[in-house]
Chain A
Amino acid sequence: MEVSLGSSHTELEKKIASLRVSFVERLVGTAEEVSDVLGTIMAAANDDDGQVALQGLNQTAHKLAGTAGTFGFSDLGVAARRVETNCTSIIDGNEALLQNFYDDLQTFLSEINAVVKSTHR
Protein backbone atom coordinates (compact mmCIF):
# COMPACT_ATOMS: atom_id res chain seq x y z
CA MET A 1 0.00 0.00 0.00
CA GLU A 2 1.55 3.30 -1.07
CA VAL A 3 1.25 6.12 1.40
CA SER A 4 1.76 9.71 0.32
CA LEU A 5 4.24 10.53 3.07
CA GLY A 6 4.37 14.23 2.32
CA SER A 7 0.66 14.85 2.61
CA SER A 8 0.20 12.34 5.45
CA HIS A 9 2.99 14.03 7.46
CA THR A 10 1.43 17.46 6.89
CA GLU A 11 -1.99 16.21 7.95
CA LEU A 12 -0.47 14.52 10.99
CA GLU A 13 1.39 17.69 11.98
CA LYS A 14 -1.83 19.69 11.71
CA LYS A 15 -3.71 17.21 13.88
CA ILE A 16 -0.92 17.11 16.46
CA ALA A 17 -0.86 20.91 16.50
CA SER A 18 -4.58 20.86 17.24
CA LEU A 19 -4.08 18.37 20.08
CA ARG A 20 -1.24 20.55 21.39
CA VAL A 21 -3.57 23.55 21.57
CA SER A 22 -6.10 21.52 23.60
CA PHE A 23 -3.31 20.25 25.86
CA VAL A 24 -2.14 23.79 26.63
CA GLU A 25 -5.69 24.98 27.27
CA ARG A 26 -6.12 22.25 29.88
CA LEU A 27 -2.84 23.29 31.52
CA VAL A 28 -4.48 26.47 32.80
CA GLY A 29 -6.76 24.35 34.97
CA THR A 30 -3.86 22.12 35.97
CA ALA A 31 -1.87 25.11 37.23
CA GLU A 32 -4.82 26.09 39.44
CA GLU A 33 -5.18 22.54 40.78
CA VAL A 34 -1.49 22.28 41.61
CA SER A 35 -1.52 25.67 43.35
CA ASP A 36 -4.53 24.60 45.40
CA VAL A 37 -2.99 21.34 46.62
CA LEU A 38 0.47 22.80 47.24
CA GLY A 39 -0.59 24.39 50.52
CA THR A 40 -2.45 21.26 51.66
CA ILE A 41 0.51 19.00 50.96
CA MET A 42 3.14 21.18 52.58
CA ALA A 43 0.99 21.81 55.67
CA ALA A 44 0.02 18.23 56.34
CA ALA A 45 1.32 15.56 54.00
CA ASN A 46 0.68 12.83 56.55
CA ASP A 47 -2.97 13.39 57.34
CA ASP A 48 -5.89 12.20 55.22
CA ASP A 49 -6.28 15.47 53.29
CA GLY A 50 -2.57 15.53 52.56
CA GLN A 51 -2.57 11.93 51.36
CA VAL A 52 -5.56 12.54 49.07
CA ALA A 53 -3.85 15.63 47.69
CA LEU A 54 -0.63 13.68 47.10
CA GLN A 55 -2.47 10.91 45.26
CA GLY A 56 -4.19 13.43 43.00
CA LEU A 57 -0.97 15.31 42.36
CA ASN A 58 0.80 12.04 41.56
CA GLN A 59 -1.75 11.22 38.87
CA THR A 60 -1.55 14.73 37.40
CA ALA A 61 2.24 14.64 37.32
CA HIS A 62 2.24 11.14 35.79
CA LYS A 63 -0.06 12.24 32.96
CA LEU A 64 2.00 15.34 32.21
CA ALA A 65 5.28 13.45 32.43
CA GLY A 66 4.06 11.18 29.68
CA THR A 67 2.47 13.76 27.38
CA ALA A 68 4.36 17.05 27.75
CA GLY A 69 7.52 15.83 26.05
CA THR A 70 5.58 14.27 23.21
CA PHE A 71 4.03 17.66 22.53
CA GLY A 72 7.49 19.26 22.54
CA PHE A 73 7.45 20.66 26.09
CA SER A 74 10.41 18.68 27.39
CA ASP A 75 11.24 20.90 30.39
CA LEU A 76 7.68 20.51 31.66
CA GLY A 77 7.92 16.76 31.12
CA VAL A 78 11.13 16.58 33.16
CA ALA A 79 9.64 18.67 35.99
CA ALA A 80 6.52 16.53 36.01
CA ARG A 81 8.56 13.32 36.10
CA ARG A 82 10.51 14.64 39.10
CA VAL A 83 7.31 15.48 40.97
CA GLU A 84 5.83 12.08 40.09
CA THR A 85 8.90 10.17 41.27
CA ASN A 86 9.18 12.07 44.55
CA CYS A 87 5.44 12.02 45.13
CA THR A 88 5.40 8.23 44.83
CA SER A 89 8.22 7.97 47.38
CA ILE A 90 6.53 10.37 49.81
CA ILE A 91 3.26 8.42 49.55
CA ASP A 92 5.29 5.29 50.32
CA GLY A 93 6.52 6.94 53.53
CA ASN A 94 9.77 8.65 52.56
CA GLU A 95 9.12 11.87 54.46
CA ALA A 96 12.71 13.08 54.05
CA LEU A 97 11.84 14.03 50.48
CA LEU A 98 9.28 16.56 51.71
CA GLN A 99 12.07 19.02 52.46
CA ASN A 100 12.84 19.63 48.79
CA PHE A 101 9.38 18.78 47.51
CA TYR A 102 8.19 22.38 47.78
CA ASP A 103 10.94 23.47 45.37
CA ASP A 104 10.01 20.64 42.99
CA LEU A 105 6.38 21.76 43.04
CA GLN A 106 7.32 25.39 42.46
CA THR A 107 9.48 24.37 39.48
CA PHE A 108 6.61 22.24 38.18
CA LEU A 109 4.20 25.18 38.47
CA SER A 110 6.69 27.52 36.81
CA GLU A 111 7.08 25.16 33.87
CA ILE A 112 3.32 24.83 33.48
CA ASN A 113 2.89 28.59 33.51
CA ALA A 114 5.80 29.03 31.10
CA VAL A 115 4.14 26.72 28.56
CA VAL A 116 0.81 28.49 28.90
CA LYS A 117 2.43 31.93 28.50
CA SER A 118 4.61 30.89 25.57
CA THR A 119 1.65 29.71 23.54
CA HIS A 120 -0.51 32.69 24.34
CA ARG A 121 1.95 35.27 23.01
Chain B
Amino acid sequence: MTKTLRKILHVEDEADIREITKLALEAVGGFVVESCASGQDALKIAPVFQPDLMLLDVMMPGMDGPATLKAMNKLSEFDDLPVIFMTAKIQSSEISDYDEMGAAGVITKPFDPMTLSDQIHEIWQSSVGQSVC
Protein backbone atom coordinates (compact mmCIF):
# COMPACT_ATOMS: atom_id res chain seq x y z
CA MET B 1 0.00 0.00 0.00
CA THR B 2 1.37 3.43 -0.95
CA LYS B 3 2.45 5.49 2.05
CA THR B 4 1.14 9.05 1.89
CA LEU B 5 2.52 11.98 3.86
CA ARG B 6 -0.40 13.70 5.50
CA LYS B 7 0.22 14.03 9.24
CA ILE B 8 3.29 15.76 10.65
CA LEU B 9 4.27 15.85 14.32
CA HIS B 10 6.28 19.02 14.93
CA VAL B 11 8.47 19.18 18.04
CA GLU B 12 9.86 22.63 18.87
CA ASP B 13 10.35 24.49 22.15
CA GLU B 14 9.99 28.00 20.68
CA ALA B 15 6.34 29.09 20.42
CA ASP B 16 6.83 31.48 17.46
CA ILE B 17 8.46 28.75 15.40
CA ARG B 18 5.72 26.26 16.29
CA GLU B 19 3.08 28.72 15.18
CA ILE B 20 4.71 29.74 11.89
CA THR B 21 5.52 26.15 11.02
CA LYS B 22 1.98 24.95 11.67
CA LEU B 23 0.54 27.82 9.64
CA ALA B 24 2.96 27.25 6.77
CA LEU B 25 2.57 23.48 6.57
CA GLU B 26 -1.21 23.54 6.83
CA ALA B 27 -1.88 26.53 4.55
CA VAL B 28 0.70 25.79 1.85
CA GLY B 29 1.30 22.06 2.13
CA GLY B 30 -2.17 20.97 3.13
CA PHE B 31 -0.72 18.83 5.91
CA VAL B 32 -2.32 18.06 9.25
CA VAL B 33 0.09 19.28 11.91
CA GLU B 34 0.26 18.52 15.62
CA SER B 35 2.69 20.75 17.53
CA CYS B 36 4.57 19.77 20.69
CA ALA B 37 6.74 21.96 22.89
CA SER B 38 9.02 19.15 24.07
CA GLY B 39 10.29 15.68 23.39
CA GLN B 40 8.35 14.39 26.39
CA ASP B 41 5.10 15.77 24.94
CA ALA B 42 5.90 14.24 21.57
CA LEU B 43 6.26 10.77 23.11
CA LYS B 44 2.81 11.10 24.68
CA ILE B 45 1.09 12.59 21.64
CA ALA B 46 2.56 10.40 18.90
CA PRO B 47 0.62 7.21 19.78
CA VAL B 48 -2.63 9.20 19.65
CA PHE B 49 -1.87 11.36 16.60
CA GLN B 50 -0.13 8.57 14.58
CA PRO B 51 2.13 10.87 12.50
CA ASP B 52 3.55 9.93 9.11
CA LEU B 53 6.62 12.07 9.81
CA MET B 54 8.21 13.95 12.71
CA LEU B 55 9.76 17.38 12.27
CA LEU B 56 12.15 17.70 15.18
CA ASP B 57 14.07 20.67 16.56
CA VAL B 58 17.60 19.70 17.56
CA MET B 59 18.29 22.10 20.42
CA MET B 60 15.65 21.87 23.09
CA PRO B 61 16.06 22.10 26.85
CA GLY B 62 15.96 18.81 28.72
CA MET B 63 15.28 16.16 26.08
CA ASP B 64 16.92 17.44 22.90
CA GLY B 65 16.16 16.35 19.34
CA PRO B 66 18.53 13.38 19.16
CA ALA B 67 17.33 12.10 22.55
CA THR B 68 13.73 12.44 21.41
CA LEU B 69 14.48 10.48 18.23
CA LYS B 70 16.16 7.75 20.24
CA ALA B 71 13.21 7.50 22.63
CA MET B 72 10.69 7.52 19.79
CA ASN B 73 12.53 4.70 18.01
CA LYS B 74 12.17 2.57 21.14
CA LEU B 75 8.41 2.63 20.64
CA SER B 76 7.90 -0.29 18.25
CA GLU B 77 5.17 1.41 16.24
CA PHE B 78 7.54 4.35 15.55
CA ASP B 79 10.87 2.58 15.12
CA ASP B 80 10.84 3.51 11.41
CA LEU B 81 9.06 6.88 11.64
CA PRO B 82 10.77 9.27 9.20
CA VAL B 83 12.31 12.18 11.07
CA ILE B 84 13.53 15.51 9.74
CA PHE B 85 15.75 17.54 12.05
CA MET B 86 15.50 21.33 12.14
CA THR B 87 18.54 23.24 13.29
CA ALA B 88 20.63 26.35 12.76
CA LYS B 89 23.03 26.52 9.79
CA ILE B 90 25.45 23.66 10.24
CA GLN B 91 28.58 22.14 8.83
CA SER B 92 28.38 19.22 6.40
CA SER B 93 30.01 16.98 9.01
CA GLU B 94 27.07 17.56 11.33
CA ILE B 95 24.67 16.53 8.57
CA SER B 96 26.36 13.15 8.39
CA ASP B 97 26.01 12.87 12.18
CA TYR B 98 22.25 13.34 11.82
CA ASP B 99 22.22 10.82 8.94
CA GLU B 100 23.89 8.30 11.22
CA MET B 101 21.23 8.91 13.85
CA GLY B 102 18.70 7.81 11.26
CA ALA B 103 17.29 11.17 10.18
CA ALA B 104 15.60 11.32 6.78
CA GLY B 105 16.91 14.85 6.32
CA VAL B 106 17.85 18.18 7.87
CA ILE B 107 16.22 21.57 7.37
CA THR B 108 18.23 24.57 8.49
CA LYS B 109 16.94 27.56 10.41
CA PRO B 110 15.99 30.20 9.61
CA PHE B 111 13.58 28.73 7.08
CA ASP B 112 11.25 30.27 4.54
CA PRO B 113 7.66 29.52 5.59
CA MET B 114 6.55 29.66 1.94
CA THR B 115 8.90 26.87 0.85
CA LEU B 116 9.01 24.71 3.97
CA SER B 117 6.38 22.33 2.60
CA ASP B 118 8.40 21.88 -0.60
CA GLN B 119 11.53 21.09 1.41
CA ILE B 120 9.66 18.45 3.40
CA HIS B 121 8.12 17.05 0.22
CA GLU B 122 11.59 16.71 -1.32
CA ILE B 123 13.03 14.91 1.68
CA TRP B 124 10.00 12.61 1.86
CA GLN B 125 10.28 11.75 -1.83
CA SER B 126 13.99 11.01 -1.72
CA SER B 127 13.99 9.26 1.62
CA VAL B 128 10.69 7.45 1.85
CA GLY B 129 10.02 7.47 -1.91
CA GLN B 130 6.29 7.67 -1.56
CA SER B 131 3.60 10.14 -2.48
CA VAL B 132 2.62 13.30 -0.66
CA CYS B 133 -1.01 14.15 0.00
Interface on A for B, CB 8 Å cutoff? 1, 3, 5, 8-9, 11-12, 15-16, 19, 23, 59, 62-63, 65-71, 74, 77, 81
Q: Does B113 contact A (CB under 8 A)?
A: yes
Let me know if A8 and B27 touch, CB within 8 A: yes
Determine how close the nearest CB of chain A comes to the CB of B62; give it in whole angstroms: 12
Q: Are A16 and B23 neighbours in the complex by a CB distance under 8 Å? A: yes
Select one of B57, B61, B113 contacting A16, CB under 8 A.
B113
Nearest residue (CB) in A for B111 is: A70
B63 at the interface (CB under 8 A from A): no
Interface pair A66/B14, CB less than 8 Å apart: yes
> Which A-chain residue is minimally distant from B114 (CB atoms)?
A9
Mostly, the A contact residues are: helix
Cβ-closest chain B residue relative to A59? B61
B interface residue numbers (CB < 8 A to A):
14, 16-17, 19-20, 23-24, 27-28, 30, 57, 59, 61, 88, 109-111, 113-114, 133
Q: How distant is B70 from chain A, measured CB to nearest CB, in Å?
A: 22
| Chain A residues within an 8 Å CB radius of B110 | 66-70, 74, 77
Which residues of A lie under 8 Å from residue B133 when comparing CB positions?
A: 1
A16-B23, A62-B59, A74-B110 are contacts. A67–B28 as well, Cβ < 8 Å? no
**Chain A residue at minimum C-beta to C-beta distance from B110:** A69
A114 smallest CB distance to B (angstroms): 17
Whether A11 contacts B109 in the complex (CB less than 8 A), given A19-B19, A67-B16, comes out as: no
Cα separation A25 to B71 with both chains bound (whole Å): 37
Q: Is the CB of B20 within 8 A of A19?
A: yes
Q: Are B20 and A1 in contact (CB under 8 A)?
A: no
List 15 contacting pairs A-B, 8 Å CB cutoff, sorted by A: A3-B28, A3-B30, A8-B28, A12-B27, A12-B28, A15-B27, A16-B20, A19-B19, A65-B88, A65-B109, A66-B17, A67-B16, A69-B109, A69-B110, A74-B110
CB closest chain-A residue, reference B133: A1
